[in-house]
Homo-oligomer: A and B are copies of this chain.
Amino acid sequence: MADPSKPAHAEDSGSAAKRGKPTLRTIAEITGLAVTTVSRALSDAPQISLDTRKRVREVADEIGYSPDRAAQRLKTGRTNVIGVLLDPHEEILGYGTSIMSGIAKALQGTAYHLIVMPNFLNSTNVEAVNYITRNAMADGLIFSRTEPLDPRVRLLSDLGFPFVTHGRTELSTPHPYVDYDNFTFSYQATKRLIAKGRRKPALISGPAGFTFAGHLQHGFMTAVREAGCAYEILSGIDLDSPAGAIRDRVRQRYAEPDPPDSFMCGGEVCALATITGMSDCGLTLGREYDIVAKQTSHLLSAIQPQVETIYEDLTATGEDMGRVLLQRIGGESDVSRLQLLLCPQIPSSFDAAG
C-alpha cells in the first residue's frame, strides 16, 4: 500500500508553506529571516541577536523542528553516531546489555546516538572497523576483547579515528581504554582459595590471544608462587568454551590422578559448568573443593549462592567508556587522561581467614 520509498508521513504539500517535515526553510518563512540566520540562531551563535535566537527557538519548538541528520552529516562530515562493535558471544549473561546501557547513560543529553554494529558476518573484526571508517558510519568506536597487538587498535590509531577499547593492548602507541584490573582480581581470587586451605588451585584461563587472558594468568601465577603451592591451568578449555565442554573437561580431569582442589573461574557460566562437572563426580562445593568466580550478573548468586565472587560492574565500565570517547572526540589529546583501570572491589569477607 504505502510507498516505502518516501516517508509516509510526508503529506501532500498544502498552500505556500508546504506541509511535511519542517526544515530550516520552514522556520525561515515563518519568521521572515534567512535560512542562514535560522541555522545560526539554533546553534546559538553569538553573532545573532539574543532576541532573534529566542524567537527562532520558540518557533522551532512549536512546529517540532528537528534537524535532518543526513544533511548535517553530508555537510559537516560528522555523523553524531557512536558505534559499538558487538561480538556474537558477547551477549552471554548480560555483557553486552550492561556495557551498552552504560554507554547510553554517558551519551544521554549529548547529540550522539548509540548504534550497535553486530559483527556476525565479517569474519574478522578488522574488516568491520575498516568498513566503518571508510564509510564514515560513526564519529567514534567502542569495542572490547583486545589483543596485545590488536590490529583494530593499530588501524584506528593510524587513521586518527577516535575510539576506546575495553581492555588494554601492548602496542607502543598509547590509546584510550577502560579496563578492569584482571590481574588483581585473579590474584585476590586465588589468594582467597589458598586462604581457605586449598593447595592446588586450577585456572580456567581466558581465551588465548586476548590481553586479559594474560592478566588473569599472571595474577593466578603470582598468588600460587607466593604461596608456594601446586597449581594447574586446565588445558583444552577456556572462558569462551561452551558450558558443556567445560563441564566435561572438569569431569574428565577428575578421573585422572592428582586433580586440583579449587578453581579460579573468570565468569559465571564457567563456574556453573565447573560445579556441574564436579557434582557429576560426587564432589560438593565448599567441602571437597572451592570456587571463586567473577560475577557480572545475578544469575550465579541466585543459583549457587555458595560461590564466592568478585564483582565487575560492566555498566560503570560502559559509562566510563562513553565519557572517555566523548572527551577524545571533543579534542582531548592527552591520552594518559583517557586511560582508566578499574579496581576490583574485594569483599570484606575475603579478609577473614578461610
Taking Cβ atoms with an 8 Å cutoff, the residues of A that contact B are 1-2, 4-9, 21, 66, 68-71, 73-74, 76-79, 86, 88-97, 100-101, 104-105, 108, 113-118, 120-121, 133-137, 139-140, 159-162, 242-244, 246-247, 269, 272-273, 276, 298-299, 301-304, 328-331, 333
Contacts and interface: CB of A to CB of B under 8 A. Distances in A.
B91 A118 contact: no
A269 B92 CA distance: 12
A27 to B, nearest CB: 16
Given A4-B329, A118-B104, A243 B74 contact: no
A299 B269 contact: yes
A271 B74 CA distance: 51
A256 to B, nearest CB: 21
A210 to B, nearest CB: 19
A332 to B, nearest CB: 10
Contacts of A1: 160, 333
A256 B70 CA distance: 62
A118 B116 contact: yes
Given A104-B120, A116-B115, A135 B69 contact: yes
A147 to B, nearest CB: 22
Contact of A70 (B4, B73, B330, B333): B73
Contacts of A116: 86, 115-118
11 contacts: A4-B330, A6-B77, A9-B159, A68-B136, A69-B135, A70-B70, A89-B97, A104-B118, A104-B120, A115-B116, A116-B118
